[in-house]
Amino acid sequence: MPRGVAITEPRQHLFVAAERVIAAVGPSQLTSRAVTREGGVATGLLFAHFASFDDFLTGYAVDRSFHIAATTAGLGERAGTGTVDANLGEALLATPMITLLAVTRLFAYRPSLTQAVEAVLGSGSAALPALERTVAGYLTAERHIGRLPAAADTEALAVAVVGALHHVALTDGADPAAASRVRRAITALTTTASLREPS
């Protein structure tokens, strides 16, 4: 980025740069210099907004965890509309796949970030694990109105759905076909749950 060009949202600019670094070379190579180099800015910009690189990572993790929760907050209100798999796919993939990839890899590499996020946003609020409660609540609502079998284990189904998202993001999140793989997994899981009554 040319010198003298104003950055409207420097924190977000740096967060996006961090995601690109993680996607390209993994979280072990994530440093302040790597982030600012990727963002095309001076290293000082990062430290003008964050007290340390750990503070930057916490800020990123909190921001993205909040975003993921916000994009799925209305999922429960969709019960009874559209299809179950489409509703889940739309909500879970509202966050860009590169963000899901970066968040998943970063939390796996720096598990202490979970505690840092929960200190700000509350228990169970860190990134993808927070989706499990939201998905389970939505599936329970669908079961209540008869769009899933009465005996369907909605908590287990939520684990499977979010687990599929987690796996694809962690292993193949940079692949252009990643979102399609997640949607197919969700369809397979919800179709099975709808057609088979647990014994």
User: For position 173, what pLDDT does the model report?
Assistant: 85
- Quick one: the chain helix, strand, coil %, rounded to 5? 70, 0, 30
On the question of pLDDT at 2 being above 80, the answer is no
Query: Please, is 167 exposed, middle or buried when counting C-beta atoms within 10 Å of its C-beta (0-12, 13-18, 19+)?
Result: middle
Phi-psi region of 198 (alpha: psi -120 to 50; beta: other; left: phi over 0): beta
Instruction: Domain ranges for the chain, please list them.
Output: 10-195
Residues 114 and 112: their CA atoms lie apart, in Å, by 5
Q: Which pLDDT tens digit goes with each residue over 130-180?
A: 888 999 999 999 999 999 999 999 999 999 999 999 999 888 888 989 999
What percent of the chain clears pLDDT 70, i.e. is strictly above it?
A: 94
Which pLDDT belongs to residue 115? 93
Residue type, 98: I
Rounded Cα distance between 121 and 119, Å, is 6
What is the predicted pLDDT for the residue at 128?
A: 78
Residue ranges in 122-177 assigned as alpha helix (H): 129-144, 154-172
pLDDT value of residue 5? 47
To which H or E segment does residue 108 belong? helix 97-109
What percent of the chain has pLDDT above 90?
80
* DSSP code, position 109: H
Nearest to 166 by CA among 99, 101, 95, 93: 101
The pLDDT assigned to 126 comes to 87
Calpha distance 40→28 (Å, rounded)? 20
35-80 residue pLDDT tens: 999 999 999 999 999 999 999 999 999 999 999 999 999 999 999 9
Mean pLDDT confidence for 109-120: 94
Per-residue pLDDT at 40: 95
Higher pLDDT among residues 67 and 194, named by residue: 67
Mean pLDDT of 84-110: 94
The b-or-e profile of 133-150 (16+ CB within 10 A means b, else e) is: bbbbbbbbbbbeeebbee
Query: CA 155 to CA 140: how far, in whole Å?
Result: 8
Q: What is the pLDDT of residues 3-12, one digit of tens each?
A: 444 567 999 9
Residue 90 has what pLDDT? 95
- Output the CA torsion sign for 174, 177, 182, 183: positive
CATH superfamily membership of 10-195:
Tetracycline Repressor, domain 2 (1.10.357.10)
